[in-house]
C-alpha cells in the first residue's frame, strides 16, 4: 500500500516524494480504495535529528541571533516532517471506516505538509544548515499513539488541538521574522498559516460529521476527548479569527484555556 510505504520511508527527501506521489496517484484514481494493510505503530525516521524529551530540549537562544534563527527554522521543519506522517497515518489508519472524501482530504494534507517541509529544508540550506543538524522534539508522535484506536480522538487532538495551536503562534513568529528583515521567511510562514487553516477546517469538518451521526454535541464531545487524551490545558492567547475561519469557534476551546 502506497501510504504504508511512505510511512516506512525514513530518508526525509524520499519521504517527501513518496507522500506527494501517493497523494497525486490517489487524486488521479490510480490507487484502489483498499485499507486492509495495517499501518505501522511508528513511521520510519532518519537517524538525525536526535530526538529528545521536550524537557531536555536546548533553549533556542535569542530570536535575532544566528543560533536562534537556525533553531526556529529547524524546529518548524521537524514539526512539518512529523506532520507528513500524521496526515498519512490518518488516511491509512482510518480511511476504510471513514470513506473516500476523508482519504482525499488527508492525502491532500499530507501533500501540503511534504511541500512545507521541502520549503523549510531549502530555507535551512540557505542558512548554511540542514534538517537533522539540531536535536528535535521527541513527543510529536505520542498523540498519534494514544489515539490510534479512535478516529474521533485523533481528529480532536491532531488537527483541532495541535494544528490549531499553530494558528495561534504563527502570527507572532511571522512578526518577529519580518522584524529581522527576513521577507523570504515571512512568505514561508504566511503560506504555511493559510494551509494550516484549511487543515484545521478539514479535521473539524470530519469531527463534526462524526458527532452528527451519533447525535452528539461536537463541542461537548471534543472537550471530553481533549481532557482524556491531551496532556495539559490549552494555552491562551488564541487566534480566534483564524480558528473561526477553520470552523473552530470559542464554544469548543474557551472553557479549557489555561
8 touches 17 (CB < 8 A) = no
Cβ within 8 Å of residue 11, ≥6 positions away? 46
pTM: predicted TM-score of the whole model, two decimal places: 0.96
Coil vs helix vs strand at 46: coil
d(CA 18, CA 9): 8
Round to the nearest angstrom and report the end-to-end CA distance of the chain. Answer: 42
Kindly give the confidence (pLDDT) of every residue in the chain, 258 residues in length, as a single tens digit, with 9 standing for 90 and above: 899 999 999 999 999 999 999 999 999 999 999 999 999 999 999 999 999 987 777 766 545 688 999 999 999 999 999 999 999 999 999 999 999 999 999 999 999 999 999 999 999 999 999 999 999 998 889 999 999 999 999 999 999 999 999 999 999 999 999 999 999 999 999 999 999 999 999 999 999 999 999 999 999 999 999 999 998 789 999 999 999 999 999 999 999 987
H or E stretch including 136? strand 136-137
Residue 131 C-alpha cell reads as: 534538517
Amino acid at each position: 500500500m502506497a501510504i504504508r510505504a511512505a510511512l516506512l520511508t525514513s530518508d526525509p527527501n524520499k519521504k517527501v516524494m513518496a507522500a506527494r506521489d501517493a497523494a497525486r496517484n490517489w487524486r488521479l484514481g490510480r490507487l484502489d480504495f483498499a485499507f486492509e494493510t495495517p499501518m505501522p505503530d511508528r513511521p520510519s525516521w532518519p537517524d538525525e535529528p536526535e530526538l529528545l524529551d521536550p524537557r531536555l530540549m536546548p533553549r533556542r537562544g535569542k530570536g535575532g541571533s544566528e543560533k536562534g534563527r537556525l533553531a526556529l527554522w529547524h524546529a518548524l521543519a521537524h514539526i512539518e516532517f512529523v506532520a507528513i506522517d500524521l496526515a498519512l497515518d490518518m488516511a491509512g489508519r482510518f480511511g476504510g471506516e471513514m470513506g473516500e472524501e476523508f482519504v482525499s482530504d488527508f492525502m491532500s494534507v499530507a501533500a501540503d505538509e511534504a511541500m512545507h517541509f521541502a520549503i523549510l529544508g531549502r530555507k535551512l540550506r540557505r542558512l548554511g544548515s540542514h534538517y537533522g543538524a539540531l536535536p528535535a522534539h521527541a513527543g510529536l508522535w505520542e498523540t498519534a499513539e494514544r489515539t490510534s484506536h479512535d478516529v474521533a480522538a485523533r481528529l480532536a487532538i491532531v488537527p483541532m488541538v495541535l494544528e490549531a495551536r499553530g494558528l495561534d503562534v504563527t502570527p507572532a513568529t511571522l512578526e518577529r521574522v519580518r522584524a529581522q528583515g527576513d521577507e523570504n521567511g515571512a512568505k514561508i510562514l504566511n503560506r504555511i498559516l493559510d494551509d494550516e487553516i484549511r487543515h484545521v477546517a478539514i479535521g473539524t469538518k470530519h469531527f463534526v460529521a462524526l458527532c452528527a451521526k451519533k447525535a452528539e454535541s461536537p463541542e461537548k464531545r471534543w472537550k471530553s476527548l481533549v481532557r482524556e487524551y491531551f496532556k495539559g490545558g490549552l494555552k491562551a492567547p488564541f487566534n480566534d479569527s483564524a480558528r473561526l475561519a477553520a470552523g473552530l469557534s470559542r464554544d469548543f476551546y474557551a472553557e479549557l484555556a489555561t
